[in-house]
Amino acid sequence: MPNESNFNHLRRIAALAAATAAAAAALTVSATAASADTDSSALGAALDRVASDDLTYTPPRQFSS
Amino acid sequence: MRELPLVSISSKASLGTKVVEWPTKDVVDAALADPQWQSRPFVEFVLKVHSRCNLSCDYCYVYEMADDSWKGNPATMSKATVDQAATRFGEHMRAHSDDIPVAKVVLHGGEPLMAGPKLITYLTERFHAETPPGIELDIRMTTNAVLLTPDNLRLMRECGIHAYVSLDGGREAHNRHRKYANGRGSYDATISGLNALSAPEYRDLFSGLLCTIDVTNDPIDVYDMLVSHEPPMLDFLLPNGNWNEPPPAWDGDSNTTPYADWLIPIFDRWYNAPVRQTSIRLFDEIINLVLGGQSRAETVGLAPFQSLTIDTNGSIDFCHQLKSAFNGAAITGHNVSRDSLDALLLQPGVVARQMGVHALCDTCKACPIRNICGGGLYAHRYKVGTGYLNPSVYCADLSRLIGHIVERVAKDVLEHDC
- Report yes or no: A14 at the B interface, CB cutoff 8 Å: yes
A15 to chain B: nearest residue by CA? B368
| Model ipTM value | 0.90
Minimum mean pLDDT range among B15-24, B192-201, B309-318: B15-24
- Report yes or no: B405 at the A interface, CB cutoff 8 Å: no
For residue B158, give the CATH number of its domain. 3.20.20.70
Q: Inspect the interface and report whether the beta carbons of A59 and B294 lie closer than 8 Å.
A: yes
Q: Inspect the interface and report whether the beta carbons of A60 and B417 lie closer than 8 Å.
A: no
Is B22 a member of any domain? no
Is B230 a member of any domain? yes
Is B116 a member of any domain? yes
B308 to chain A: nearest residue by CA? A63
- Report yes or no: B235 at the A interface, CB cutoff 8 Å: yes
- Is residue A54 scored above 50 in pLDDT? yes
Set of chain B residues whose Cβ sits within 8 Å of the Cβ of A21: 290-292
- Assign B7 a pLDDT band (cuts: 50, 70, 90): very low
Q: Inspect the interface and report whether the beta carbons of A64 and B301 lie closer than 8 Å.
A: no
Is B374 a member of any domain? no
Helix (H) or strand (E) holding B281: helix B281-290
User: How far is B330 from B46, CA to CA, in rounded Å?
Assistant: 13
Q: Outline where DSSP puts E strands in B116-205.
A: 136-143, 161-166
Q: What is the pLDDT of residues B97-139, one digit of tens each?
A: 999 999 999 999 999 999 999 999 999 999 999 999 999 999 9
Is B326 a member of any domain? yes
Set of chain A residues whose Cβ sits within 8 Å of the Cβ of B414: 19-20, 23
| Count of CB pairs separated by less than 8 Å, A with B | 157
Is B159 a member of any domain? yes
Tell me which residue range forms the domain holding B317.
41-356
Asked if residue B141 lies in contact with residue B156, where contact means CB atoms within 8 angstroms, the answer is yes
Q: How many structural domains is chain B composed of?
A: 1
- Assign B12 a pLDDT band (cuts: 50, 70, 90): very low
User: How far is B46 from B294, CA to CA, in rounded Å?
Assistant: 22
- Choose among A14, A27, A60: nearest Cβ to B416: A27
